[in-house]
Amino acid sequence: MHENPGISGTAAVRPAPRVRKRLLPTLGDARNSIRDALRDAGLAPGGDQPPLILVACSGGPDSLALAEAASFFSRRGDYRVGAVVVDHGLQEGSAAVAERTRQKLEAMGLAPVLVRQVTVPTSGMGPEAAARTVRYAALDAAVEELHADAVLLGHTLDDQAEQVLLGLMRGSGTRSLAGMPAVRGKYLRPFLGLRREATLEICEHAGLDPWHDPSNRDSAYARSRVRTEVLPFLEEKLGPGIAEALFRSSRILSADADYLDEKAARTFEKLRLDPPAGSGAEGAELLLPEAPLRDLPAALRQRVLALAALALGGAQPSYERLAAVESLLRRTGSAGPVQLVGKVSVYRQPRGKAVHHGGSSYGNLVFRKKSST
């Protein structure tokens, strides 16, 4: 009797089955959030040349977790996934942080990974706004250079809750209280429904060592005070769930703001009048008829007035400035002008008087921007 060479004794020796690592539930949620955001943006996976997605990564837990979740789609071949690391140069050792972040991203399989150094201006605006402005300029340049289809940002539900509270502190309107949009052009925020704790858990699970920005705990910044003092205080005094409630409010207000903004844009284009021939020698002008403006609901009227200022190159007027413009419609006081940011003035043309070098415009509000020359 011949012994089977593949059998030792009476039983075959088989290799032990490979143990698959259990998928972390929060990582699965993160991947699903990215997939849904890309699908909603109309970016279909696969193809001969899959869409190029860039992750904006600071090296912090939120953006590192975002990169880790996005790398899954790169490995599957659904999308090409790269990253951009922006070094603001605001802290000692920032270049080393950016380099370590680049190495981590490349180890995930992301390509290309760009590191961009920027200079944050120290005058003209607050430090947070200045850093945000140059950061987005660097990201915009990377999108153009690489012909990227989308940029993923790592803002979480907690960031959104902080944004809503900051809007409340400023006394802002619906659009500001709606918080950060989930989509703005090519910028997508797939993690707005995820808590910050989830990103920390993903980083720990993946063996990543995120950088923790010390400015996030610097009480000199309003956002840091909201994060470290205000929200924890509200949770302590009012009970858990404050961040989630603020996030839900932002979703509701975002839908309301989208509807009102769209309706206001159509109304503005319908009401907008060109100035009489020969007017505007010293700048640009446009007219809005007073009677239809008075008939509008306040929410629409204020938006239409703001759109008129923006159409001339001005800035978004404050609530107080819009209230001053509305007082012209009541025709009980001064005929103006009301000065708005961006060298835009608004006035009510008295009966029989003409717009600058033009015909009578009685019954209209005149918006005028002075020429810079």
Pair 88, 94: CB distance under 8 Å: yes
Binding site as annotated, residues = 58-63
**DSSP per residue over 8-57, as a string?**
BTTB---PPPPPPPPPPHHHHHHHHHHHHHHHHTT----SSSPPEEEEE-
- Residues 228, 327 within the same domain: no
Sequence letter at residue 88: H
Q: How far apart, in whole angstroms, are the C-alpha atoms of residue 126 and residue 166?
A: 15
Residue with tokens 């009970």: 239
Question: How many domains would you assign to the chain?
Answer: 2
Record the pTM.
0.82
- Identify whether 318 is part of a domain: yes
Q: Is 115 helix (H, G, I), strand (E, B) or coil?
A: strand
- Residues 236, 105 within the same domain: yes
- Residues 230, 294 within the same domain: no
Sequence letter at residue 157: L
- Identify whether 9 is part of a domain: no
Upper half-sphere CA count for residue 168 (Cβ side, 13 Å): 12
User: What's the domain range around 239?
Assistant: 25-256
Q: Last residue of a domain, which of 226, 256, 286?
A: 256
| Buried/exposed code over 190-223 (b: 16+ C-beta within 10 A; e: otherwise) | bbbbbbbebbbbbbebbebebbebebeeeeeebb
- Identify whether 267 is part of a domain: no
Q: Is 85 helix (H, G, I), strand (E, B) or coil?
A: strand
Upper half-sphere CA count for residue 334 (Cβ side, 13 Å): 8
Pair 154, 203: CB distance under 8 Å: no
Pair 221, 128: CB distance under 8 Å: yes
pLDDT tens across the length of the chain (373 residues): 555 554 444 555 565 555 556 789 999 999 999 999 999 999 999 989 999 999 999 999 999 999 999 999 999 999 999 999 999 988 888 999 999 999 999 999 999 999 999 988 887 677 788 889 999 999 999 999 999 999 999 999 999 999 999 998 887 788 889 999 999 999 999 999 999 999 999 999 999 999 998 888 888 888 899 999 999 999 999 999 999 999 999 999 999 999 999 999 999 999 999 876 655 556 689 999 999 999 999 999 999 999 999 999 998 898 899 999 999 988 776 767 999 988 999 998 755 454 444 444 468 999 999 876 5
- Identify whether 15 is part of a domain: no
| Through-space distance between the first and last CA atoms of the chain, rounded to whole angstroms | 108
Q: How far apart, in whole angstroms, are the C-alpha atoms of residue 240 and residue 209?
A: 29
- Identify whether 20 is part of a domain: no
- Strands 344-348 and 364-370 come out as antiparallel
CA 268 to chain centre: 25
Q: Is 113 helix (H, G, I), strand (E, B) or coil?
A: strand
- Identify whether 291 is part of a domain: yes
The CATH number covering residue 110 comes to 3.40.50.620
- Residues 229, 286 within the same domain: no
Q: How far apart, in whole angstroms, are the C-alpha atoms of residue 100 and residue 115?
A: 11
- Residues 285, 361 within the same domain: yes
- Identify whether 264 is part of a domain: no
In this prediction, residue 323 carries a pLDDT of 92
- Residues 239, 346 within the same domain: no
- Residues 214, 292 within the same domain: no
- Residues 241, 337 within the same domain: no
Pair 358, 276: CB distance under 8 Å: yes
- Residues 32, 176 within the same domain: yes
Q: Which of 274, 195, 279 is nearest to 26 (CA)?
A: 195
- Residues 200, 151 within the same domain: yes
In this prediction, residue 283 carries a pLDDT of 66
Binding site as annotated, residues for ATP = 58-63
- Residues 232, 276 within the same domain: no
Q: Which of 145, 157, 68, 60 is nearest to 105 (CA)?
A: 68
Q: Which of 17, 291, 72, 11 is nearest to 202 (CA)?
A: 72
Q: Last residue of a domain, which of 256, 283, 313?
A: 256
Q: Last residue of a domain, which of 203, 226, 256?
A: 256
The CATH number covering residue 301 comes to 3.30.465.60
Q: How far apart, in whole angstroms, are the C-alpha atoms of residue 87 and residue 85?
A: 6
- Identify whether 350 is part of a domain: yes
- Residues 139, 170 within the same domain: yes
